[in-house]
Chain A
């Protein structure tokens, strides 16, 4: 029936609104705690190193997903620079509404790391942005940092 009739109002369908009332409190976890503490306190990236597989994880993991070794005592420091593996320019939000300012999002592999993570790129860099571009993290001022992903303001083209 719904295919044949055109309903202009929800009430024509004898419908009503509902919601799933849930709220979450996530923990950073063992690895996340060290990663975000290093960003907050020192403005630095850290990672974990699996010697067996010769893989560096940053963002880190306390285990190696390949061989399952514990990496709880295998911490390394990484520079705050990395390479753009892919990027996009986002123009609509998740509800299909046009953004006031397009957002540049990239998959970034930190120098020395084997995994990749996603973060913002400063929109001032859009002209020079390309896959393979070398970028560096811009952290918020120390007193504004809270130990979350937003402590990284964005990445911008590295000054070289």
Chain B
């Protein structure tokens, strides 16, 4: 299969906050304008616009893609919005990649946004109807039920403790202290996590990422455009996405098959045969601490059940052999769903260009992978980036 090469040449991100004064459109514009400025481009240089934003129910705006279009640079341009739940942010560059790799467009502005604070007092109420109205809703489920069942099953399968998993939250919140957009950067301890309020055992308050408002954007271009814009293009060298069964409890609760399928697709395209050796830096999706471990295993970065040990041994720390979530992840930077996934892509972009400042991982990284997870918790979206 022959595709055109696609490069990322600019990135922008708003601060992630619990409650933004800005409207969703204003957040989208701030990030999109920042991405264009970063690339040294103007809106006139953009051929098409891709918008990634998760449930309309968060912002309280149906047809949210259309609502966000003007703030995303969509005035009188071809615009498409995609939505794969929590996987949306890492699908955003895939969607943009399709537009350029196909040969149809030379440049694409990719914008992601979420304003979760509109759903008041908490976004959880919007989620009751993602559960089956006949076989699940009568039980009054919340999203945390899913994560509690998964986390318990994962711990039982590999003999892990809550403390083993809490180390992820400690690591990522610490990393986030150095991220200028971060909402929850903090120095916390395993004890803090273990003693935080239990929401649905074994999931506790500090195992979870926050609800956030924020936006992120990147500019993608074809190879020849990229060569004219920058001497440091970062290539979208592999893309993959896959769904597991739609019945969430039927899924393998301790292993994310959907991530492995998506990862194999992306690695195959990027020519990566041994991801645990060839990937220098990873941004697995970490809306929950155990989920970063789940996703490291699904991304084939380690053996099944081994991820917690890598975290405990410091392998995943910013100065470790395989830095995971050097940005601070969803747990630390915050989790405005679609914008979170693109925040991870932006982290790879900056790290691979050597522009991550205080967060820069040592060792001149050349290849990175980012991943997100969503839909009814059964989609995996994966992007490999390289320079």
Chain A residues with CB under 8 Å of chain B are: 18, 20-33, 61-63, 65-68, 70
Contacts and interface: CB of A to CB of B under 8 A. Distances in A.
Interface residues of B, number: 32
B25 interface: yes
Contact of B23 (A21, A29, A65, A66): A29
Contact of A25 (B20, B21, B44, B117): B117
A65 B125 CA distance: 33
Given A18-B133, A20-B128, A22-B125, A70 B23 contact: no
Q: Which of A24, A33, A70 is the most central at the interface, judged by chain B CB atoms within 10 Å of its CB?
A: A24
Contact of A67 (B44, B118, B128): B44
Given A24-B60, A62-B29, A68-B32, 19 more contacts: A20-B57, A20-B128, A20-B129, A24-B118, A25-B117, A25-B118, A26-B118, A28-B23, A29-B25, A30-B23, A30-B26, A32-B23, A61-B70, A63-B33, A65-B70, A65-B75, A67-B44, A68-B73, A70-B33
A73 to B, nearest CB: 15
A7 to B, nearest CB: 18
Contacts of A27: 19-23, 117-118
B70 A33 contact: no
A68 B21 contact: no
Q: Which of A20, A30, A65 is the most central at the interface, judged by chain B CB atoms within 10 Å of its CB?
A: A65
Given A27-B23, A29-B23, A65-B70, A22 B60 contact: yes
The 6 A-B pairs of least Cβ separation, nearest first, read: A29-B23, A24-B60, A25-B120, A65-B70, A68-B43, A65-B75
A61 B70 CA distance: 10
Contact of B21 (A20, A23, A29): A29
15 contacts: A20-B57, A21-B125, A23-B125, A24-B60, A24-B119, A25-B118, A25-B120, A26-B118, A30-B23, A62-B29, A63-B26, A65-B70, A66-B43, A66-B75, A68-B33
A22 B117 CA distance: 12
Interface majority SS on A: helix, strand, loop or mixed?
Answer: loop
Nearest to B115: A27
Contacts of A66: 43, 75-76
Contact of B119 (A22, A33, A67, A68): A22
B57 A22 contact: yes
Contacts of B117: 25, 27
Contacts of B315: none
Contact of B126 (A20, A33, A61): A20
Q: Which of B22, B32, B44 is the most central at the interface, judged by chain A CB atoms within 10 Å of its CB?
A: B22
Contact of A63 (B19, B29, B118, B129): B29
B71 interface: yes
Interface string B171-182: 000000000000
Interface in B52-103: 57, 60, 70-71, 73, 75-76
Given A31-B26, A70-B33, A18 B129 contact: yes
B224 to A, nearest CB: 24
Contacts of A65: 70-71, 75
B165 to A, nearest CB: 31
Q: Which of A21, A27, A30, A31 is the most central at the interface, judged by chain B CB atoms within 10 Å of its CB?
A: A27
A68 B60 contact: no
Contacts of A20: 57, 125-126, 128-129
